[in-house]
Structure 1
Amino acid sequence: MAGLYTATLVSPALLLVGIQWFSLGSDQLALGLLGATGGLLTAVVAWWVTGHGGIVAWFNSTWLAILIPAIGVLPIFAYFIDVVLYLGFSISTLQAETTAHLIGTAGFVLGMAASCLGGVLVYMARRRLVDATIDNGTVSSEWTAGWSRRDRFKLVVSTLITVVVLIGLSIWQLGSWGVITSAIGFVSVVGVSAFVSERTYRVTPAGLELRNESKWLASRRIIPWSQFEGFSVTGDSVVLHRRLPNIDVRFSRRGIATEEAVITDLEQHLHNRNHTTN
């Protein structure tokens, strides 16, 4: 999967350089070279990853998990003008489309594919890491909860305001590019909604496991205890504090059926900053 992800991102750029360098003008040859380059990159990266199993742990980072799918957006921006020109020339026949425009269009499509593949890659790597780290027999506490209603409301409202302002500015300043920015803003709102939704937490000796389950997919990740700086209990939430730029882990106290047992388990691994029992 890592090889295919890399190939979808890098192959069009390499081929565009080759087209300019060698003045290629055959669409069939260019598409064949695109496929060959992608196949070679897939094989090389897959071989390298196989020999470096420790790379799986990298995907446990929140920011890397966001960055990998997001990188696929870059080709969408970079090749957007090629798509417009290729379609425009093909429909109007005023000017023959070039091989570079064809590969740019392919790069645009592959960029969207790379975003999807990046998400799948993160999902597979995290699941593999959890399966290798956690023994179900060592789980001391398990519960399912989401953010408290107050925290959820504040985050969603602030995100909506930020996205609406950015979309307005982008459409005003960027014109047609603002449409793409609007789509990214919509995805951000959906992502925030998923971020604050209910998930299952499990306390293990290796760390805190987080599991998101849906009808079609069940994602898992583990956060080592060393990444936390302690935890606190407020009137409606439990907050596990993390060093910046990581985001704190929080969940509503309402979702915990055995709150005292969970707090006791957390205290075995983390410093309790402030324990209130409102």
Structure 2
Amino acid sequence: MLASRPPVPQLRSFVRLLWATAPAGATGSGAFREHVLPTGCMHLALRWSGPPLRVYAGDAGPEGRVLGHAVVGGVRTSFYAREAGVAAASAGALLEPGAARALFGAGAQEFTGRHEALDNLWGRDAGFCMERLQAATDPAHALALMEAFLLERLAPGTGLHPGVAAGLASLRHGGRVEDAARASGFSHRHFVARFRDATGLAPKAHARVLRMQSALGGLARPGTALADVALAAGFADQAHFSREFRAFAGVTPTQWLLARPLHPNHVPVAAAA
């Protein structure tokens, strides 16, 4: 059982989406691996029942790395594999650019490509948050508790610099990095440095993730030809799109379609193989 919604207005500059799940009768025997695709956002995830969060080096073999029960995930340019399908109660948030400074007191580039235990960032407050969530009666209640804690943690006077926000808007509308730097009002070098601090990626890498997310939207529309998806997303041809998509998602566009993921950025590996 999954519940999700945008946060209250005070958090919307920092949090794109809140989510919470309940076990809903799932069992550990249903565990499988899935590819988690880059979104351009950082992630916060807390699990207060069930096994700890686990990630894998690849799709084959039993080896895995236990992350713990509360983690922050940095932005990436390629997928990672994780354990899914276990019975667990969890909650989390999809974090906007600029949220790392506001919520964790560090630039987003410090988390790029890796996971960090939440107690390393929040100390005892991470435990307090988990204790509150253990009292949640359902996913909607967990969302409200998560939202309240994020509001408490939000550092006053922090936010995305208007110049970075202008550059981001330019990239999201298909602008080139040069256009984004110009829109920011900074020098190119200064823009790149501030952009990395806010998003965790260089502008060109972030634009690539945005382009792949646009392609995912095209793939999700029934009956759309792959060549049309590639063209609409700005790729030279279908072959170019397929190569880039495989590096991004760990599966080809056709395999993604066969997997029929319930959520575009979470691809069951067994179904896609």
With normalisation by structure 2, the TM-score equals 0.23
Structure with the bigger RCO (C-alpha within 8 Å, sep 6+) is 2
User: Structure 1 length as normaliser, TM-score?
Assistant: 0.23
Which structure has the bigger radius of gyration?
1
* Higher normalized helix content (fraction of residues): 1
